Amino acid sequence: MQRLWTPWRMEYIKQNVEEGNCIFCAKISAEDDRKEHMLWRGERAYITLNLYPYNNGHLLVVPYEHVPSLEDLPPETVLEIGKLIAFSIRLLREAMNPDGFNIGVNLGKIAGAGVVEHVHVHVVPRWNGDTNFMTVIAGTRVIPEWIDETYDHLKEILETHPELRPR
């Protein structure tokens, strides 16, 4: 059996299991957006980088309301989530030039939700050939850029391209 060591995850695991904290609710009141990888704060939802991404630029659109499913949200929040998804696509196209996107919601543990109690939408940029032998043979994703570098790059694009912002 091969091991992939990720000791930086232990703080996250312990904090959320021991304290019963919701990682998405904790981000709302955080004061350091860079530390939390918060890219955009809307009126009813926000955009953050996924700490354990499928690919570089893997974003999450998260409502402020702590509910398990989209149907539990008021229509205004669902509308804003839709706008933030479109905004995320524009931002990632400009910043990373992906060939396509996977966009989805995992509702419930059986559907693959890592955080079952707080609904969120994944926006994952995809490139031709981004599934390589490591993923296929070793079941391991290779992420070529540190999350802080991805955050800084996306924030720079936001600052220099206001036309990309939510409409």
Query: Is beta strand 121-126 parallel, antiparallel or unpaired with respect to 100-104?
Result: antiparallel
Alpha helical stretches, state H, 4-146:
9-18, 23-29, 33-36, 75-96, 133-138
- As a whole number of angstroms, the longest Cα–Cα distance in the chain is 50
Element (H, E) at 150: helix 147-160
Residue 118 annotated as catalytic: no
Which residue among the candidates 37, 66, 118, 120 is catalytic per the annotation? 120
- Supply the residues annotated as catalytic: 120
